[in-house]
Amino acid sequence: METNDLRRSFGDLEAVAGIDLAIPEGEIYGFLGPNGAGKSTLVRLLVTLLTPTAGEARVAGYDVRAQAGDVRLRIGVALQDAAVDPMLSGRELLTLQCRYYGLDRVETRRRVEDVLSLVDIGDAIERRIGTYSGGMRRRLDLATALVHNPQVLFLDEPTTGLDPVSRARVWDEVRHLNEELGMTIFLTTQYLEEADQLADRVGIIANGTLIAEGTPEELKRRISNDVVVARIGGDPEVASAAVSVVPGVGQVTVEGDELTISVADAPATISPVAVALNGCGVTVTDLTLRRPTLDDVFLLLTGHRSEPGDDAPGPDHFAGDVADLAAHAHRGPR
> Which helix or strand (DSSP H or E) is residue 2 part of?
strand 2-10
pLDDT at residue number 305:
65
Pair (258, 315) in one structural domain: no
Neighbours of 313 (CB within 10 A): 14
Pair (122, 212) in one structural domain: yes
Question: Are 93 and 137 spatial neighbours (Cβ–Cβ below 8 Å)?
Answer: no
Residue 82 belongs to a domain:
yes
CB within 8 Å of 54: residues ≥ 6 apart? 5, 6, 7
The pLDDT-based confidence of 315 (bands split at 50, 70, 90) is very low
Residue 68 belongs to a domain:
yes
The pLDDT-based confidence of 311 (bands split at 50, 70, 90) is very low
Please count the structural domains in the chain.
2
Listed ranges 13-22, 97-106, 171-180, 214-223; the one with the highest mean pLDDT: 13-22
Cα gap 137→91, rounded to integer Å: 13
Q: Is 16 helix (H, G, I), strand (E, B) or coil?
A: strand
> Which helix or strand (DSSP H or E) is residue 142 part of?
helix 134-146
CB within 8 Å of 65: residues ≥ 6 apart? 51, 52, 56, 57
Residue 144 has pLDDT above 80, yes or no: yes
pLDDT at residue number 29:
97
pLDDT in tens, 60-84: 999 999 999 999 999 999 876 666 7
- CATH code assigned at 73: 3.40.50.300
Which domain, by its residues, includes 127?
2-216+309-328
Residue 301 belongs to a domain:
no
The mean pLDDT of 172-178, rounded to a whole number, is 87
23 or 39, which is more confident: 23
Instruction: Give one DSSP letter per residue of 237-300, joined into a string.
Output: HHHHHHHHTSTTEEEEEEETTEEEEEES-HHHHHHHHHHHHHTTT-EEEEEEEE---HHHHHHH
Residue 19 has pLDDT above 50, yes or no: yes
Pair (8, 67) in one structural domain: yes
Residue 130 has pLDDT above 70, yes or no: yes
Residue 303 belongs to a domain:
no
Pair (106, 198) in one structural domain: yes
> Which helix or strand (DSSP H or E) is residue 205 part of?
strand 201-206
pTM of the model: 0.76
pLDDT over 70, % of the chain: 89
Residue 300 has pLDDT above 80, yes or no: no
Pair (239, 183) in one structural domain: no
The mean pLDDT of 24-30, rounded to a whole number, is 95
pLDDT at residue number 218:
86
Residue 98 belongs to a domain:
yes
Pair (144, 230) in one structural domain: no
Residue 310 has pLDDT above 70, yes or no: no
- Least confident among 1-5, 108-112, 307-311: 307-311
